[in-house]
A and B are shown apart, each in its own frame.
Chain A
Amino acid sequence: MKSLKNEKGNCTPRRTFLKNLVLSCSSLFLPRLIFPQEKKNEAGSWMLENGYVPSEHNWGMGIDINKCIGCGRCVNACKTENNVPKVPFYFRTWVERYRIFEDRDSTVDSPNGAIDGFHEMKEDGKNVVRSFFVPKICNQCDNPPCVQVCPVGATFKTPDGVILVDADYCIGCRYCIQACPYGARYLNPETRTADKCTFCYHRVVKGLAPACVETCPTQARIFGEIDKKASPLIRFKRINKINVLKPFLNTEPKVMYANFDMEVK
């Protein structure tokens, strides 16, 4: 124990050692004291300054399967608006083609998420009885399994019901990607963090529609308030029979489908 001896040849008394330990530990706080964080920009201040009160809203989406023409303009717009890598496997929204055959067999395909639309398929001998397109997107569940599993609190539900990811805080552990029953999350290859649809939160709080809704040519996608009386979603729910994906999981999705086929998974 040479190093601990002082010039008199004694060991550092335990008391002094502990005292120094406590002091040196507290010096870790120095940077915090010297550079107080976010003094100029109070956290969460954008909302306050711009008069958007999250708790007054509850956003949802309606998707009419009978209106979708599978052009994939939503997929393209989503990737452009949100800087999602324009390579396969990374989608915040995508479109699937269902084909149900005479023998009750069915196939689902989504070539590159349908960013370049679809091409007619050879029928390989079997007759198709029904076929249709199903746009998919994060369901912004009211009871989100992805938020529950996040070990650091990097994914969360805002008061207006949108599930967001804090890319700065995410540690890229992929738990949430595993937990999502809809396959709506992916690991962004550039930031190495979990990523997903935000309902275009940056647009919505400024009164704009999400990019996919904006570019849908047939109004197959409807966006609006779930709880308010004067909302396009209320009409959507009044004139259509509504279904959600995997209702038995009790995730309580806020993306509602009209003209839903029982084959849709």
Chain B
Amino acid sequence: MKVLWKRIPEQLRRLSILVLLLIVLFVMIRTLLVPRDFGKYGHYRASAVDEIVSQSIHYAGREACEECHDDIAGVKSSGFHRNVACEVCHGPGAAHMEDPSGVQLTAPRERGYCPLCHEYLTSRPTGFPQIVSDLHNPMKPCIACHEPHDPKPPVTPKGCEACHAAIARTLSLSHHVYLPCTRCHQDPGSHKISPREFTPTKPTTREFCGECHARNDENTKGIPQIELVNHYSRYVCWQCHYPHLPEAQ
């Protein structure tokens, strides 16, 4: 061993000690800088997960309010707002649950609140109940007529335009303005009360439009007419003409 060490040239021997020292120094600095729990589970500090997990919770969750407010939860569970969590309207409730009378939640009673979800926007999906708040009973708060936990229109809407405002507005600008919705859609009766369960019919055949537009002896001459058999017969009419705005050009 000693012989081997001696046989290494002097300058290499000195250098190797220096290198060794540098390595030791590096390891020392590294252990100093790198936290002890780094790499326990992966390339990260294990206790960081604990810190993130210990962040305080503000929203208590959907079921949390039921144990004390079962009356309201019960009403809500069968209404249109059943999927709207209590804390959406009343704000985060974890602190209120700890100390119900100390931390009071507020209720959004003002008129400006509900339009967040219900104001008419073209980008909203069709069928979502929307109103134009400037025109929809503007002088009263929404909760004067709609119970927020079980919102129903106080009376069954009469016209289809109450819910299909965009279609009604489009139709009112089109050549079909004088056709009532029910000329083309038969309401099974309960669509206005349970719109999703009972959907009205929609036209299914070319012949339906042909009732007015086919060129034959029976049809009114004032209505623009086409040869039903060869006017693009591969398609149904509404593949090209939007029935609520059926401009030909």
A residues within 8 Å of B by Cβ? 18, 22, 25-26, 28-29, 32, 37-38, 41, 43-47, 66-73, 77, 80-82, 97-99, 116-120, 128, 131-133, 153-159, 164, 166-169, 198, 201-203, 205-206, 208-209, 211, 214-215, 217-219
Contact = CB atoms under 8 A, between A and B. Distances in A.
Contacts of A70: 121, 123-124
B36 A37 contact: yes
B59 A43 contact: no
A226 to B, nearest CB: 19
A88 to B, nearest CB: 18
B44 A214 contact: no
Contact of B28 (A25, A68, A80): A25
Interface of B: 21, 24-25, 28, 31-32, 35-38, 40-59, 61-62, 81, 83-85, 87-88, 91-92, 115-117, 119-125, 128
Contacts of A217: 81, 83-85, 88, 117
Given A72-B116, A156-B44, A97 B88 contact: no
B57 A206 contact: yes
B152 to A, nearest CB: 17
A158 B49 contact: yes
A123 to B, nearest CB: 9
A97 B58 CA distance: 28
A77 B51 CA distance: 21
A158 B40 CA distance: 12
A70 to B, nearest CB: 6
Nearest to A99: B123
Given A82-B55, A157-B42, A202-B55, A214 B121 contact: no
A205 B53 contact: yes
6 contacts: A71-B116, A73-B117, A77-B59, A156-B42, A169-B35, A202-B52
A44 B40 contact: yes
A215 B31 CA distance: 45
Nearest to B39: A153
B21 A18 contact: yes
A201 B53 contact: yes
B48 A131 contact: no
Contacts of B116: 71-73, 116-117
Which label, helix, strand, loop or mixed, suits the secondary structure of the B interface?
loop
Given A25-B25, A81-B57, A97-B123, A201 B52 contact: yes
A153 B32 contact: no
Contacts of A167: 48, 51
Nearest to A65: B125
Contacts of B46: 43-44
Contact of A133 (B28, B81, B123): B123
A135 to B, nearest CB: 13
A243 to B, nearest CB: 18
A81 B58 contact: yes
Contact of B44 (A37, A166, A208, A209): A166
B123 A45 contact: no
Contacts of A133: 123-124
6 A-B pairs with least C-beta separation: A156-B44, A166-B48, A43-B37, A43-B46, A131-B123, A43-B47
Contacts of A82: 55
| Residue of B21, B38, B54, B116 contacting most chain A CB atoms (<10 Å) | B116
B53 A46 contact: yes
A25 B116 CA distance: 63
Contacts of A45: 50
A82 B25 CA distance: 41
A28 B29 CA distance: 9
Given A46-B54, A164-B52, A201-B53, A28 B123 contact: no
Contacts of A215: 59, 85, 87-88
B197 to A, nearest CB: 18
A219 B83 contact: yes
